[in-house]
Amino acid sequence: MSSDKPGTSNVLIDSNHTTSEILAAAGVTVFERGWLSANNILIQGNGPSALVDTGYWTHGQQTLALVEQALGGRPLDCLLNTHLHSDHCGGNAALQHRYPNATTYIPPGHASAVTDWDPVSLTYEPTGQYCPRFHHDALLLPGRSIRLGPHHWSIHSAKGHDPHSIVLFQPEHRLLISADALWESGFGVVFPELEGISAFDEVAETLDLIEQLAPLTVIPGHGPIFHDVSGALLRARTKLDYFVKNPEKHLRHGLKVLIKYKLLEWQSVDMNEFLAWAFNTAYLKEAMPLKGKDQALGIAWIQALLNELAHSKAIMVEGNTLRNA
């Protein structure tokens, strides 16, 4: 995981340009944040300054400090979210407070849930996470474009990981902000599938879209900037094919990701507190034997997940304490 510093890689893209040169030409600074907070992308130049995705709420002040330092006293004009998972919009409230004149853009699918503030529809309660309330001013409509810094970026629907997610593409520099639709080693958990809603086909359609856009440089929602797009697409399609053939593996994978994510927030937690959280987290409770109505069966089922995470060295179990590893 990164140290929350701007991305300044000098990897050669072609005979004429490096990563840092492409980012500079597009006015882009990337704060690689690890996994609790999604990467933040700051865009500046001859046009509206913009921040794409704001991280998790517990990192809100750190996100604000990074943005303020990079802006150097200049205002932030726009705030954008590729989708509304808590690790991508948890810093919205802090940034809206600091920059009250900034226009906040979100994908259209959850606009009413943001207006009415419905933490169930927004998945914060079902995932056992939290996001401070924020507002939106405008929508990121697929098929249109938006001026960010010196260039226009095209907006594309990117269903799968989240049914309302979008990706942003800058065609002149062939630069893609892919959110959780494509990482260097795969893609994000397909959350509709955790609810029993078929969405693997939508993941495939989004991967096809990215291939058609043919980016040279990809800024993912998590992890470092990468350029081997064909390799990333191959890895993502291989992973998708495995999950299509083994949907129960995807479900188990998704639930373990939720547990790991919560431990990234907590770092350590008493087992009883963790069990109380698990039994009150809808995605976990609904997957338990008898939907968590038999506590003994539910605890045994959770323990099996914890054992798998410990075996992979993702967590540590020390007596009655769980620790992030």
Per residue in 139-176, pLDDT (tens digit) is 999 999 999 999 999 999 999 999 999 999 999 999 99
Q: Domain 247-324 is in which class?
A: mainly alpha
Would you say 212 and 254 are in contact if contact means Cβ atoms under 8 Å apart? Answer: no
Residue 17 has pLDDT above 60, yes or no: yes
Confidence (pLDDT) at 140: 98
Would you say 83 and 179 are in contact if contact means Cβ atoms under 8 Å apart? Answer: yes
Strand order in the sheet with 268-270: 268-270, 321-324, 315-318
Would you say 76 and 102 are in contact if contact means Cβ atoms under 8 Å apart? Answer: yes
Topology classification of domain 19-244 = Metallo-beta-lactamase; Chain A (3.60.15)
List, for residues 170-226, the tens digit of each pLDDT value. Answer: 999 999 999 999 999 999 999 999 999 999 999 999 999 999 999 999 999 999 999
List, for residues 21-31, the tens digit of each pLDDT value. Answer: 999 999 999 99
Which residue is associated with the tokens 């373990």? Answer: 256
Domain-wise residue ranges, the chain: 19-244, 247-324
Residue 47 has pLDDT above 70, yes or no: yes
- How many whole angstroms separate alpha carbon 120 and alpha carbon 159? 19
Q: What is the pTM of this model?
A: 0.94
